[in-house]
Amino acid sequence: MDYKKKIAELINSKVHLEVEKIEQLIEIPPKPEMGDYAFPCFQLSKIMRKAPNMIAEDLKNELNSEGFEKIENLGPYINFFVDKKEFSKNTIEKILKEKDDYGKSNIGEGKTVCVEYSSPNIAKPFHVGHLFTTAIGNALYKMFKAEGYNTVGINHLGDWGTQFGKLISAYKRWVDEEALEKNPIDELLRIYVKFHKEAEKDPSLEDEGRAYFKALESGDEEAHALWKRFRDLSLKEFQRVYDILGVKFDSLAGEAFYNDKMDVVIDMLKEKNLLVESNGAQVVMLEDYNMPPCIILKGDGASIYATRDLAAALYRKKTYDFYKSIYVVGTPQALHFKQVFKVLELAGKDWAKDCIHVGFGLVKFADRKLSTRNGEIVLLDDLLNQSITKTADIIKDNESIENKEEVAKKIGVGAVIFTYLKNSREKDIVFDWNEILSTEGETGPYVQYAYARAKSILRRAENVSDTVDYSKLNSKEEFELIKTLESFNKYILLALDKLEPSILTRYVIEVAKGFNRFYNAYSVLNLEDEVLKATRLKLVEASSQVIKNGLALLGIDVVEKM
Ligand code: ARG
């Protein structure tokens, strides 16, 4: 049951304030002694010209308390205590009936959301920073889908740009074909780094690179064939990582896809008189908005990153008619997106306001920042493999686990994803293995362990009575846990509203903690009272279901034993 709504309707029948407005004002009191929901009367005080304390006292007496244990007032607040038995029964039965669908809704029906995430660069390693966008985007994608939105997951591959001209030049000069087949990205990176070193000594190399890119842009066959080979080889490597992570996309339309869709951008900007020449380049001036100009065409007429993003935005609007278009890209690119969205707005696209950049911080090990130029990068492959190996080592002596390899993979990968999604995304991540893989503290393994523990109780339960009595779940620990389970959907919606998966991660941690508090305080299997045992088992089952559903939305698998 939707108690907030019920309370709002109850209050609405007595005062002149809309149901929705009242619903927004309803709070969850900080302490259970203050009830389960509270309505502050300050707003009413303005309308009714009466002290909020007095309104609370009068109104409390007028409200019909059916379905509630009691309604009290404390100062300017009306506190609602729900009928615990009803609440527990409704919540647990709903979870056990809806199972994997619990938490879903159709609030987004008829609305399309584009979520762009991952977007690695071809011929460059998939490093630990890319998992940040991949994990956040994947979680947002799953959450939007769960709430009924038509969701389009886009991998905007970095597969176009002057660097591909340089790569072709480097390929022609220095490639080791054998190495390219064996370790494509390593070899492409090696010749790319070499190109930059050599170009410092011989600047004419830069011109050669530019010429090759020009050839590529105008459809030169040889250049195109080489580009395609680099792209295919890289994609194969990326796919391996996506398979480990269980991440999928609906579209792989990357930067190259827009090569032949640039005219629309140029025409639009010309038509609106936005394009001006500056130092030989064509730009849109943004000084009125305190931003540097947005470069559209370089001196040699080649398009750049921003041009392709403008083309992509127009294409996505035309193709998907999105309600929102989200870009999960590191915070260092915040200015780029502000410029792109501003140019769209100046060009009269009122939907520019629906384009949202979702930024995130850096990934650090000890104290070095990751970059691709100086070779000091940490590959995601290595990170995931390390996590899996370390986990395998931790569980190696546990004889109850039959499928150790699979379990090590799920826990190891899950622990890494969890670390990325645990704190607000703008914060930097500092990796510390002891912390990440510990089953104590706020970690992936901690939550997964709570799930496995619950499943183990359910497996061991025998001769369970068919009779349950929810009034028996009357301890503080039990009722707090049930209240947490009930608020799952609310936290998904909150996470979507703030485009912040960590809100859901924190919620899942709360469920695991609540479950452990309950389990540490009370027996479940060792009980004389068969009805109490059956009822507590329902709570155990409901808790495991919510942990499973919550982790699934974050892109993390559960394990039955660990
Ligand atoms: N490929 C870029 C990078 O790795 C990210 C692309 C972001 N998306 C975009 N629409 N510009 O830095």
pLDDT over threshold 90, residue 66 = no
pLDDT digits (tens, 9 = 90+) for 415-442: 999 999 999 999 999 888 888 999 999 9
Catalytic site residue from 4, 89, 130, 483: 130
Confidence of residue 367 (pLDDT cuts 50, 70, 90): very low
Find out whether 144 and 250 touch, Cβ atoms under 8 Å: no
Nearest atom (ligand 1) to Cα of 157: 1
pLDDT at residue 41, rounded to an integer = 94
Catalytic site includes residue 127: yes
Name beta bridge partners: 295.
283
- CA–CA dist 185, 121 (Å, integer): 11
Residue at token pair 């050599």 = 198
Find out whether 141 and 99 touch, Cβ atoms under 8 Å: no
pLDDT at residue 265, rounded to an integer = 96
pLDDT at residue 377, rounded to an integer = 67
| Alpha carbon distances (Å) from 213 to 60, 166, 169 | 74, 8, 9
pLDDT at residue 381, rounded to an integer = 85
Q: Which residue has a Cα nearest atom 6 of ligand 1?
A: 119
The closest of 247, 557, 509, 508 to 407, measured between CA atoms, is 557
Nearest atom (ligand 1) to Cα of 158: 1
pLDDT digits (tens, 9 = 90+) for 453-479: 999 999 999 999 999 999 999 999 999
pLDDT over threshold 70, residue 372 = no
pLDDT over threshold 60, residue 291 = yes
Find out whether 15 and 44 touch, Cβ atoms under 8 Å: yes
Residue 347 Cα to ligand 1 midpoint, Å, equals 23
pLDDT digits (tens, 9 = 90+) for 79-118: 999 999 999 999 999 999 999 999 999 999 999 999 999 9
Percent of the chain with pLDDT over 70: 98
Q: In a mutational test of the pocket of ligand 1, which residue from 329, 341, 344 has the highest number of ligand atoms less than 8 Å from its CB? A: 329
Name beta bridge partners: 80.
37, 71
pLDDT at residue 373, rounded to an integer = 41
Catalytic site includes residue 130: yes
pLDDT at residue 369, rounded to an integer = 43
Residue 119 Cα to ligand 1 midpoint, Å, equals 5
Find out whether 185 and 124 touch, Cβ atoms under 8 Å: yes
Catalytic site includes residue 124: yes
- CA–CA dist 246, 126 (Å, integer): 16
369 half-sphere exposure, CB direction, 13 A CA radius: 6
On average, the pLDDT of the chain sits at 94
What 3-state class would DSSP assign to 63?
Answer: coil
Percent of the chain with pLDDT over 90: 87
Residue 18 Cα to ligand 1 midpoint, Å, equals 44
**Dihedrals phi, psi of 364, to nearest 5 degrees:** -125, 150
- Around ligand 1, the residues with Cβ closer than 6 Å are 116, 119-121, 156, 158, 309, 327, 329
Residue 544 Cα to ligand 1 midpoint, Å, equals 38
Residue 387 Cα to ligand 1 midpoint, Å, equals 27
The closest of 215, 312, 298 to 264, measured between CA atoms, is 312
Which has more confidence, 295 or 32? 295
Confidence of residue 376 (pLDDT cuts 50, 70, 90): low
Q: In a mutational test of the pocket of ligand 1, which residue from 133, 134, 333, 344 has the highest number of ligand atoms less than 8 Å from its CB? A: 333
Q: Enumerate helices (H) and strands (E) in the chain, giving the number of each.
A: 22, 12
Confidence of residue 495 (pLDDT cuts 50, 70, 90): very high
The closest of 505, 546, 544, 510 to 135, measured between CA atoms, is 505
Name beta bridge partners: 325.
114, 355
**CB 396: neighbour CB atoms within 10 A?**
11
- CA–CA dist 345, 284 (Å, integer): 12
User: In this structure, are strands 429-430 and 363-364 parallel, antiparallel, or unpaired?
Assistant: parallel
Token representation of residue 225: 């064939």
- CA–CA dist 368, 372 (Å, integer): 12
Confidence of residue 3 (pLDDT cuts 50, 70, 90): confident
Q: What is the mean pLDDT of residues 518-536?
A: 96
pLDDT at residue 532, rounded to an integer = 97
